[in-house]
Structure 1
Amino acid sequence: MINMKKSKSRKIKVGSLEDFKKKTVSNSVDNLSAVDVYFRVKGRDLLYCDVYAYPKGRPYGDFNDDIGLEIIRLNGKKKSEELIIESDLRGGSWENAFTILPKGKYIARVSHKQNLDGKKKATRFNLELDSKSFKETSVVPNDPLFPNQWHLLNIGQSGGRQGADTKAVEAWKNRTDASNVVVAVIDGGVDVDHPDLDDNLWINKKEKPNNGIDDDKNGYIDDVHGWNFVKKTPDPHKDMHGTHVAGIIGAEGDNKIGVSGIAWDTQLMTLDVFDKGKTYSDDNLIEAVEYAIDNGADIINMSLGYTIPHASLDLYKRAKPEMYKRYLNVFSRAIKNGVTIVAAAGNDDAEDNSNLSLPSAFSSEIDGFISVAAVDHSQFITDYSNYGGEITIAAPGGSTDSKKSMVFSTLPLADQLYGGMPGTSMAAPVVSGAVALVLAENKKLTPSGIEALLKHAAYKETFLKGYVQSGNLLDLDKSLQKAKGFKPKRVKNKNQDGSQLITGQKLSVPYDELAYTNIAERLWKNSGKDKVISYRFSNKKTSSNSTLLSPCQKRFITKLLEKIDNNTSLLFKEAKRKKSDFIIGAQNSKSGELSLSETSKGISFSWPFDSNPKCKKPISSWDKRAVTQDLGWALGLQTLDEKSEFKYTFTDSAMAWDYENDFNGFTSTDYAVINQVWSSF
């Protein structure tokens, strides 16, 4: 923060900032000084606000100097300053921050940090206070403790990375209701009297409460909301763990009480296999699964289990064949009856190729059985989570670092109603809540189809490669967008030699490990969905350090596009107009890496080529590799992580990390995966 005693700030007052409004202030900040923009937030509701500072006349362009942005709350009569959030990107980057503001007085401080251009002129800027755009693309519940739920909306409030959440508020624009979906919570008992859960409980309508008669003749007397399998009664023990898990799935949303679940409305079936104990029996767990199947559950959440070191499912099968068979049969029966199973991967920091986590390990044998690892508030795998290539997906489970970094949810009335807990036990119900909304959106989806959808829609997080399948990280928004029309299918495409490639055919790198759809899907939408991609070369404005693209660099890129054209279903056309899907340029080699930006005229790629204006020397191997890998990444390929320990080489994929072999460009596997990615849209 600027030392205000040494550097006097200029003050500007803009009055009240209202919901669904934008305010823009144009001004200038002197060298090593600051401008304070004072504003108020009125009313009882929280204000969700994007704040931007960018060069005047150049929206979201670079400043000539280093500018910082702070949002500060003024407290008390003495108006002491409390920093809410700041954006201080290095260099001349424009600054932005997203924050949640309750009623109060605030300062948006734009400060001059460093002179970069050698001139001491004042830096002109626009400060934009935007409480409109977020609300246009998101839905936020009115639950007063919602700001504590970083797993639903992460603005850095717990010390984590802004945006490292499930994309719930974006997803809720499509759907919040899963009132026709029954989620069985096999766990400790749920507090059925909790005010944030009592309207979202499953009700056995065939059973009359407290009459001592098994009205529906299902073998369980007075089982109105579920069953306690330890005491053999309909009364669940009001357990902290079970209540917390239930709230993550389906605490009542937008009811002006407490917190929100992933699904605002759903039916929670409480199946207590612990009572007051810390362990469960195999018999009770199997009976609870049978109960869920027979009484209409659509989803089973199991935030329970244990890890056996130096073991595998195969060893378990041989050591306990009868128990293995019982579990396999009951889980398979659930899937066959349309019940999706979600299980916590375990909290023993154990890798799945040398340790056995039960029951989650059955996800490797049964389609529609989803195992879940835990990430923290910065989307890194947690220090406790079990991990490995057989685990289906990761979701927020919280950190043990602080109370704020835990996942915040419901607790029993006797335990203060709300609080935080960490664990894969918290990550699993995040996924179960997502499955509930997906199933509400498309009831025709089978358990295996739901698993395929979540994996297809998942964000492929590079830092999670090796910790879960393909680096899969739950993306609720994308899952809901794709739910209605999603049809898992076998995709057919051409191999390099013209023969047909069928999804599942053995590739030198598995499809899920190599595919990356984010940029490709954007290109697909921009190109008119016809797989014809237009491109053009440009020497201007492809980056802040644009330079001339030499003839030999153009020739290399053109030939590379021709190869992709000849070996995939994509077609490349050089555009004659300024607008195109790809804008290809060069920048100063000192930039060090690709400059990628999306403009109204297309997606701009600018490479830091070695200076070679007259083509006196051949393009370096490093430049060839960089261009090839970056284009592959744009068209649907994922850079293979170093953590693969060079499992894949350049003979397998151009996207491999390989410092020992010569770079040869795209392989048949690369072309096949590009085909499959584009056929999946």
Structure 2
Amino acid sequence: MNYHSIKKIIALSILGALSFFASAQKPNWQNLDLKADTTFGISTEKAYKELLKGKKSTPVLVAVLDGGVDLNHEDLKRIIWTNKKEVAGNGIDDDKNGYKDDLHGWNFLGGPTGSIEHETLELTRLVRRDNIRFAGLTAETVPAKDKADYDLFIQNRAKFEQDLVTARSNYAGVSGFKGALDPVIKKIGKENPTLKDVEDFQPQGERETRVKEALKDILKDMDFKTFYETQIVEGVKYYGDQINYNYNIDFDPRKIVGDDPNNSQERFYGNNDVKGPDASHGSHVAGIIAADRTNTLGIKGVADNVFIMGVRNTPNGDERDKDVANAIRYATDNGAKVINMSFGKSYSQDKSIVDEAVKYAVSKDVLLVQAAGNENKDIDVNANFPSRKYLNGEVASSYITVGASGFVDDETLKADFSNFGKTNVDVFAPGVNINSTTPENNYKLENGTSMAAPVVTGLAALIRSYYPKLTAVQVKEIILKSVVKVGHNITYLKDGAPVSVPFSELCVTGGIVNAYNALKLAATYK
């Protein structure tokens, strides 16, 4: 499932809520230094101050493959890529790359009349496809040559039905809590009541009493407005979207694009609307990478001499392999040297087409950075796509997979939602309470490996900017070799119970990326 929306971090129960927004941390914490600032950032500011001051750099083009980027955001507009070979708005493919008026990137989810916002999950699409293929057949009547595919279909259908039931239950739970909560807040008479306001409230009946007790726990860690907006409002939308779109087997928006979704070889479709209908996630990612460090607005990105190319391939639902492959190829062909991929899913219909695109990018000296996912799963065991491992067993040489870490160097360092994998996740990077850019000149705290990946993408771009002769493979090697090793155990939930394991069991390097260390190491490469 993709990290654009389906994998948003929402942890809700009917009468209580846990939030990743609960703990306080320093602004710009992902760029701070553990020793100097007592928060486990990647020492970016230290690197600028001690290693990069007065040094020259060259611009690096970074592609953000995502749900869209707000080109006019106050903290992004200066660093948005412009295709100088294209004449704006003339309806002509001036640079003859197959994409008309691609001034700032491309939208593979668009067509003549608009753009896709919502999509189904890959699991839903697989079940829809195989419902037709195996209609009227049973385990006894299916041809022997199709038996393995049929068994997989039955397995997928059962998972789909189970997930849909869960989504409906969660929607009922969150909506039910909202229905009980709203009248209580109305009685309290304040839009953003404090803990004291709740404690002073005199409930009538068991329903109001239970709401009061839940709020008392919640407001110990966060203010009501943040809780209501990020947990209740987003929770209702999140589970509603699951039911109405993601697990809706009859929903198919692809006619908007006008392509043949089953033709993975098709390259030239879409439109030039890089922002799309919902650019929240992609804009947040872009800001983490390279938000303008020269102004006094908002936030500071990791890299200081980067241009951002927006490539829409990720809807509110699962991205299609065809769009992922074409987005990688587009970014590569148009000069991107680092590609950020803050998306992923558990199923893949056409992994081979993505593998081909990854191989193409690798052959052109591009570094790909992918988010590991937000299910607290071991992706050495649980499939996660795309992946750096090709179908033939070989591994992409310039590809980094990133888990999410928090800001406190203790047993909670692994973000509780973050996927992990001793062989399939390379490094961890800050991914909790990350403040970054969102559309219409706004800023927001977000959580996810979607936020951790662009921290690494920004670091990769920073290295390539100051040391432009280094190859993508060398940059990956530098990032992995220069991590801050974590020597203690972390605790996470496994099958509902806490387990304690060495951090070294979570990823290849056993550490958190570090800009200061990486740039010092890069200086030694010839």
TM over 0.5: same fold?
A: yes
The answer as to whether partners of 1:175 and 1:437 remain within 8 angstroms in 2 is no
Change beyond 3 A, Cα 1:459–1:155? closer
How far off is 1:361 after superposition?
4.6
Among residues 48, 57, 62, which one is paired with 1:183 in the alignment? 62
Aligned to 2:327: 288
Aligned to 1:172: 48
2:323 and 2:469 mapped to 1: Cα distance?
A: 31
Aligned to 2:101: 222
Aligned to 2:376: 349
Deviations 1:26-59 (A, max 9, x none): xxxxxxxxxxxxxxxxxxxxxxxxxxxxxxxxxx
Change beyond 3 A, Cα 1:449–1:338? same
2:426 and 2:335 mapped to 1: Cα distance?
A: 25
Aligned to 1:452: 477
1:254 and 1:153 mapped to 2: Cα distance?
A: 18
1:228 and 1:448 mapped to 2: Cα distance?
A: 28
- Structure 1 residue 271 corresponds to structure 2 residue 311: yes
Aligned to 1:371: 401
1:477 and 1:336 mapped to 2: Cα distance?
A: 28
Among residues 394, 399, 402, which one is paired with 2:428 in the alignment? 394
The answer as to whether partners of 1:178 and 1:266 remain within 8 angstroms in 2 is no
Among residues 343, 356, 359, which one is paired with 1:329 in the alignment? 356
Aligned to 2:487: 462
Deviations 1:253-281 (A, max 9, x none): 13111111001231000001135x33321
How far off is 1:454 after superposition?
0.8
Aligned to 1:151: 30
The answer as to whether partners of 1:301 and 1:432 remain within 8 angstroms in 2 is yes
The answer as to whether partners of 2:388 and 2:399 remain within 8 angstroms in 1 is no
The answer as to whether partners of 1:221 and 1:234 remain within 8 angstroms in 2 is yes
**Could you list the runs of 5+ residues in structure 2 that have no partner in the other structure?**
1-24, 111-269, 489-502
2:48 and 2:335 mapped to 1: Cα distance?
A: 25
2:406 and 2:449 mapped to 1: Cα distance?
A: 10
The answer as to whether partners of 1:215 and 1:221 remain within 8 angstroms in 2 is yes
- Structure 1 residue 438 corresponds to structure 2 residue 463: yes
Which secondary structure does the structure 2 equivalent of 1:334 belong to?
helix
Which secondary structure does the structure 1 equivalent of 2:509 belong to?
helix
How far off is 1:353 after superposition?
2.5
Deviations 1:169-205 (A, max 9, x none): 1111233886510000000100001010001011111
Aligned to 2:238: none
Among residues 225, 228, 253, which one is paired with 2:293 in the alignment? 253
The answer as to whether partners of 1:154 and 1:164 remain within 8 angstroms in 2 is yes
2:34 and 2:43 mapped to 1: Cα distance?
A: 12
Aligned to 1:297: 336
1:260 and 1:419 mapped to 2: Cα distance?
A: 13
Which secondary structure does the structure 1 equivalent of 2:285 belong to?
helix
Which secondary structure does the structure 1 equivalent of 2:59 belong to?
strand
Q: Aligned letter for 1:244?
A: H
The answer as to whether partners of 2:337 and 2:365 remain within 8 angstroms in 1 is yes
Change beyond 3 A, Cα 1:187–1:178? farther
Q: Aligned letter for 2:304?
A: W
- Structure 1 residue 481 corresponds to structure 2 residue 520: yes
The answer as to whether partners of 1:370 and 1:451 remain within 8 angstroms in 2 is yes
1:269 and 1:485 mapped to 2: Cα distance?
A: 30
How far off is 1:485 after superposition?
2.5
Structure number, greater radius of gyration: 1
Aligned length: 317
TM-score (norm 2): 0.57
1:472 and 1:286 mapped to 2: Cα distance?
A: 30
1:175 and 1:202 mapped to 2: Cα distance?
A: 24
1:211 and 1:175 mapped to 2: Cα distance?
A: 42
Aligned to 1:235: 273
Which secondary structure does the structure 2 equivalent of 1:450 belong to?
helix
2:26 and 2:304 mapped to 1: Cα distance?
A: 16
TM-score (norm 1): 0.45
Aligned to 1:200: 79
Q: Aligned letter for 1:234?
A: N
Q: Aligned letter for 1:382?
A: A
Which secondary structure does the structure 2 equivalent of 1:469 belong to?
coil
Deviates more, 1:458-467 or 1:284-293: 458-467
CA RMSD of aligned residues (A): 2.3
The answer as to whether partners of 1:338 and 1:447 remain within 8 angstroms in 2 is yes
Among residues 454, 458, 465, which one is paired with 1:429 in the alignment? 454
How far off is 1:233 after superposition?
1.3
Percent of paired sites with the same residue: 35
**Could you list the runs of 5+ residues in structure 1 that have no partner in the other structure?**
1-145, 309-315, 399-405, 488-681
Change beyond 3 A, Cα 1:156–1:479? closer
Q: Aligned letter for 1:447?
A: A
Q: Aligned letter for 2:420?
A: Y
The answer as to whether partners of 1:188 and 1:273 remain within 8 angstroms in 2 is yes
Deviates more, 1:263-272 or 1:424-433: 263-272
Q: Name the one with the larger helix percent.
A: 2
Q: Aligned letter for 1:252?
A: D
Among residues 389, 392, 397, which one is paired with 1:362 in the alignment? 389
Deviations 1:404-445 (A, max 9, x none): xx10110101xx610110000000000000000101122222
The answer as to whether partners of 2:304 and 2:462 remain within 8 angstroms in 1 is no
Aligned to 1:407: 434
Q: Aligned letter for 1:468?
A: C
Which secondary structure does the structure 2 equivalent of 1:451 belong to?
helix
Which secondary structure does the structure 2 equivalent of 1:439 belong to?
helix
The answer as to whether partners of 1:154 and 1:377 remain within 8 angstroms in 2 is no
Q: Name the one with the larger strand percent.
A: 1
